[in-house]
Structure 1
């Protein structure tokens, strides 16, 4: 079977629940429309993540699973057509729906009450809020990889591993770690095509504490990182550029999409083809 686009997931609010979609439009920045379009911030609510204000000398941080495990208990559903965000605190009857434009202050008050500190709800329709600002495109992983990694942890299902890894694009019809072919030496990138959309594979994604936690409860899986690192190292396929691994807590691939691809649409079922290696400008 040839490689194909098996699934597309977008995460409208960074760190909160994702949505599976059949197609996604490429923005001029290379991001998928509505992916990480919104983010939660503490303190100043600065739109670029961890920043220290010159006036206040106070840092602003993303409110995410890396820093606050309460994120895992917050269920969310975003409706892009009606611009509404539904929130539910898992295990309770506390639910609320907000219009993200007209009821922004009410939404921020609700979130602030939940987290116990002031929270800003910030939007960026141009680039969204990617983890890797040098690779703003969708993250890529294969179904085979998710299945293999889940097999390392008896208590973690494939679906749960998928929720933990939070990749945008899932490739089917390929062996585990096939996506390691989509990056190469530093200073170069791998061109590949998904349907009509041209991609540039940049680097293997460095993971944080989030995959070690249950996506719904925040409970830590015992020895997750230790087991992962050992298994990832011993499972490294021959096509992997091993020099890109300063450590082995890396999985999925960060990408860029050239501005020439803006407006094109990814469709579930699209063929995936590796085109070759190019030099960075």
Structure 2
């Protein structure tokens, strides 16, 4: 395609896994493949399981704001604030263990069961522990999905929670960034090379309003029908045992660790490789 200008249009990290996003203009690739401050904190229950939108819809009722300079996390319970509830909005210094413990106490009171707040500054807490790099989607794809459900693009962006968003390309252009189940696609954003591994299989979270948690009836069925009807020829069919997939998972070669991504960086497809996606 010669009439495209692929570039990084948006860079969005999620300082606390499953909570609110934070738009950035730059981010560095960390040792374990994540980006600076992306999913650097995670809430776990007493059994060590993530407290996330897949299992706990109440996460949608939390406003979370993270300050990357001070490492302070502000938490607010929207419904309780509206009802004059007893759980106050509070800011915690989560860069310190004592601050994480205090934030965990607040979250335990909110959820109604004991939780911990954990920190990993080497690459965060990704869902995919093999392809643990940032997820990639295009703005045009989010626009298309928004049209399917008569939603705003920002609502779709918050539902699917991508990290890297590409501009200058048509809808589903990112489906060029993976191959079949035996190979990966190498592509470059600025000076950072990634390996696209697979289209991301989705969970129940995109069906829910990111502010209220209210679900759209039949969301998955409608999405699957529209995604199958619009899947481009360049999307490798071997991945589509089902069509509830959107955005691209990536792996990070060792040489990319330490590189910085910036909004506006050009995107270039380099080729297809066999073998280990992390080599």
Q: Fold-level match, TM-score > 0.5? A: yes
Partner in structure 1 of residue 39 of structure 2: 36
Gaps of 5+ in 2: 82-87
Aligned partner of 1:262 among 252, 257, 261: 257
Partner in structure 2 of residue 99 of structure 1: 93
- 1-structure distance, mates of 2:240, 2:180: 11
Once the two structures are TM-superposed, the CA of residue 127 in structure 1 deviates from its matched residue by: 2.5
User: Counterparts in 2 of 1:1-281, with a 5 A limit?
Assistant: 1-43=4-46, 59-93=47-81, 94-100=88-94, 101=96, 102-154=98-150, 156-281=151-276
- 2-structure distance, mates of 1:258, 1:103: 34
Which runs of at least 4 in structure 1 moved beyond 4 Å after TM superposition?
Answer: none
- TM-score normalised according to structure 1 size: 0.92
Equivalent residue of 1:163, what SS? Answer: helix
Once the two structures are TM-superposed, the CA of residue 245 in structure 1 deviates from its matched residue by: 1.1
Once the two structures are TM-superposed, the CA of residue 237 in structure 1 deviates from its matched residue by: 0.3
CA deviation digits over 1:103-143, x for unaligned, max 9? 22221111100000000001111221101001110000000
Equivalent residue of 2:265, what SS? Answer: coil
- 2-structure distance, mates of 1:195, 1:132: 24
The question of whether the paired residues in 2 share the 8 Å contact of 1:29 and 1:259 is answered with no
- 1-structure distance, mates of 2:49, 2:117: 12
Let me know the Cα RMSD of the aligned residues: 1.0
Gaps of 5+ in 1: 44-58
Name whichever structure is richer in helix by fraction. 2
Equivalent residue of 1:152, what SS? Answer: helix
- 2-structure distance, mates of 1:107, 1:256: 31
- 1-structure distance, mates of 2:198, 2:172: 13
- TM-score normalised according to structure 2 size: 0.93
The question of whether the paired residues in 1 share the 8 Å contact of 2:140 and 2:172 is answered with yes
Once the two structures are TM-superposed, the CA of residue 168 in structure 1 deviates from its matched residue by: 0.3
Equivalent residue of 2:144, what SS? Answer: helix
